[in-house]
């Protein structure tokens, strides 16, 4: 399992016109995949779901993953146009605001982050805590479009894992976050506040209706019984043929039962209660108090 404990970088090269170069950067502490999506013609790029590292034992943050991503940007002569997240992550902190300061690029997330913020204001009993309009430059709606260099990007609302998760579709690449896992692992959990298994099923069906050669890039990988190296790319056709949860012929009711039975066995991510109140601020810590230190508020016996 050595590779699962080390940062790994792999490039998925452009397949031709209107197809981006994609680099996946594996973050081993949380099994997260961070992405660079770049237009080969202009060298303009978007950074997607980049991690702000957090040690839950020491309650300490650092930027080593972000620095690794920015090092790749520099190595390949890219210019960052966008800092993107697919949803407010529960298992890691996002580097959005830090990347915005470093690159000058606009940061963005889905517009339903406003509804997620409303849920978590209640959980944390902090009614004035989160202001997505302040902390993100763009809140994308379903169907919105934008460009990375000359490449068109379309936003799809993909709820289920959270109520506000979105997918970015750029040519023949789709960044599908915590919907699908690799085909041998199935799909992601749907038991977080605001998520539902039925919504996740419906979102996955939309993703799998993309052209069969579309490269699907997932948000996490933890290995499997048959492999000890992380993977994060597979085509729509491969998922439809081999995904153990949602391949062609799978019954919706059977999937929902399988997913809900699995979710009932899962613990909360150990970073979740810290991460959400940072990610709903685009990766910023709460304002420092009079002694210059930052503090997080943790609900006791709430979950």
Asked if residue 291 belongs to a domain, the reply is no
**Structural domain harbouring 90:** 2-279
Quick check: 64 and 95 in contact, CB under 8 A? no
Asked if residue 24 belongs to a domain, the reply is yes
Asked if residue 133 belongs to a domain, the reply is yes
Asked if residue 288 belongs to a domain, the reply is no
pLDDT of residue 223: 84
- Average pLDDT rounded to a whole number, residues 94-108: 98
Asked if residue 164 belongs to a domain, the reply is yes
CATH number of the domain where residue 226 is located? 3.60.15.10
Query: Residue for token digits 């978590």?
Result: 120
Which of the 8 DSSP states describes residue 245?
A: T
Asked if residue 299 belongs to a domain, the reply is no
pLDDT of residue 2: 42
Q: Does the reported pTM lie above 0.85?
A: yes
- Average pLDDT rounded to a whole number, residues 170-191: 97
Asked if residue 86 belongs to a domain, the reply is yes
Which of the 8 DSSP states describes residue 156?
A: E
| Helix (H) or strand (E) segment spanning residue 265 | none
CA 5 to chain centre: 20
Asked if residue 271 belongs to a domain, the reply is yes
Report pLDDT digits (tens) over 46-86: 999 999 999 999 999 999 999 999 999 999 999 999 999 99
**Mean pLDDT, the chain, whole residue set:** 95
Kindly compute the dihedral angle of the four CA atoms of residues 64, 66, 72, 77, in this order, to the nearest 10 degrees: -130
Is the pLDDT at 42 greater than 70? The verdict is: yes
């Amino acid at each position: 399992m050595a590779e699962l404990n080390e940062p790994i970088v792999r490039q998925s090269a452009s397949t031709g016109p209107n197809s981006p170069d994609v680099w996946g950067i594996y973050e081993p502490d949380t099994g997260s995949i961070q992405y660079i999506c770049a237009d080969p013609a202009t060298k303009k790029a978007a950074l997607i779901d980049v991690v702000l590292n957090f040690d839950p034992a020491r309650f300490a943050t650092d930027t080593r993953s972000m620095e690794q991503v920015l090092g790749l940007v520099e190595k390949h002569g890219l210019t960052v146009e966008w800092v993107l997240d697919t949803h407010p992550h529960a298992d890691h902190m996002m580097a959005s605001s830090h990347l915005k300061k470093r690159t000058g690029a606009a940061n963005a997330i889905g517009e339903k982050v406003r509804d997620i913020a409303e849920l978590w204001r209640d959980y944390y009993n902090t009614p004035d805590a989160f202001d997505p309009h302040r902390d993100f430059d763009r809140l994308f709606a379903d169907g919105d479009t934008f460009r990375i260099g000359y490449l068109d990007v379309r936003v799809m609302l993909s709820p289920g894992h959270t109520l506000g998760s979105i997918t970015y579709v750029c040519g023949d690449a789709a960044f599908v976050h915590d919907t699908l896992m690799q085909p041998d692992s199935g799909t992601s959990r749907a038991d977080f506040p605001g998520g539902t298994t039925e919504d996740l099923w419906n979102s996955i069906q939309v993703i799998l209706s993309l052209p069969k050669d579309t490269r699907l890039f997932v948000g996490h990988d933890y290995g499997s019984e048959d492999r000890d190296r992380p993977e994060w790319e597979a085509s729509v056709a491969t998922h439809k043929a081999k995904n153990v949860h949602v391949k062609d012929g799978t019954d919706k009711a059977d999937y929902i039962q399988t997913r809900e039975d699995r979710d009932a066995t899962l613990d909360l991510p150990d970073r979740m209660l810290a991460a959400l109140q940072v990610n709903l601020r685009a990766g910023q810590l709460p304002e420092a108090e009079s002694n210059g230190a930052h503090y997080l508020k943790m609900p006791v016996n709430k979950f």
